[in-house]
Structure 1
Amino acid sequence: PVTRMGDVVLHYRPGSIAELGGLLQRAERLLESFPYRTPPVFTPWSPATADRHLPIRPAKPPPVVIGPPHRLPSGGRTHANALREPPPLKRSWSVFTQSSVPQEESLSNEFRGVVAAYKLHLHQRAKWVIGRHNCGGSGDIEQVWRALNRHVRSSRLSTCNANIRRERAEIWVFCDVVRSERVGRFLKEQLQLLGRIELSVHSRGNVFSV
């Protein structure tokens, strides 16, 4: 247990509470020979009434730095004007190989007239429609669909995507207008289609056939 006497801490064993009074007296007698120091009284640096009349603003205005305008070494513009002017634009260029850019010269005069008449964009999508009547005597549209998948996966029709509409017994092959004439002739030859297949464009209907 611990007992405090002012700034003195007295430690004693537990169970000797009856002897605590004697311990305190003995400790006081031992401390009589030590000098006592009275702490100084705190005195504030300003009067107690000084905070009632604090100034709202400083008595003097802040200093103002006056000097000649700063000029950049490279030109006659001031520093303020240089901060306001936007930095010069950096141009970026892209280069494409000639083989990846579709050429308008690959279009036939007939198809070029179709594009002009319907005001088609060369990179909008169009679709070739293959029906059951184009699939030979058996009319097996599933066999044509399997053959078409092989050509698409072999990258021979890399710019195309296709789906089969079994409820309508039709195959739709989508491609860009600029490539549609070549794609249509490829489908006719490689899939050995009969009759004519129609090229359809959204909001235009059938615009061309091979």
Structure 2
Amino acid sequence: MPARSSSSVPARRAAHEVRIIGGAWKRTRLPVADKPGLRPTPDRVRETLFNWLGQDLDGWRCVDAFAGTGALGLEAASRGAAQVLLVEQDPDLVAALRAIRARLQAESVEVRRGNGLTVLKELAGSGQDLVLLDPPFDADLFDKAVAAAAPALRDGGFLYLEAPHRWSDAALEAQGLRLLRHLKAGAVHAHLLGRAAPPGP
């Protein structure tokens, strides 16, 4: 393959799609519907998240509770997660997610139409390795989502929260969580959270 010229210009991505950036389905295009509040996680943020987690999620159990385009959950499945549950309430987005699942023959992925908070509450005690939370920024669901997600994690599991501001340590501690990593990218604050260590004797 010829070397790429330093003066070449990267191909411009279509405005209404994002791509899986790593793993078995790298470069797969995901459509972005014109829906209020639909704001796919930027490539830079997703790349950083999976650098934090490690590139190989082999065997992990994951939930993307506000799936939207499915970019976060499908990224996890692309990197080897054994079970990925994509939860979405909008019927058009659910249909799009099911079409992508079929196109990729993604047997590890389940698409469920439903309320993300309700499904998270049903998953309490299920021992998830990773719960992904990217609710619409104008829906004011962040406190409720974190509270519902924390009981679904296994010991040593991770919770990813995307929000319009940095979450306070006190708010996290109230849910038995601690901040492991944080990134600000434009209007997005990305948080990687883990269970707080139990108090000493």
The structure with the largest strand share of the pair is 2
After TM superposition, is the score higher than 0.5? Answer: no
Q: TM-score, normalised by structure 1?
A: 0.25
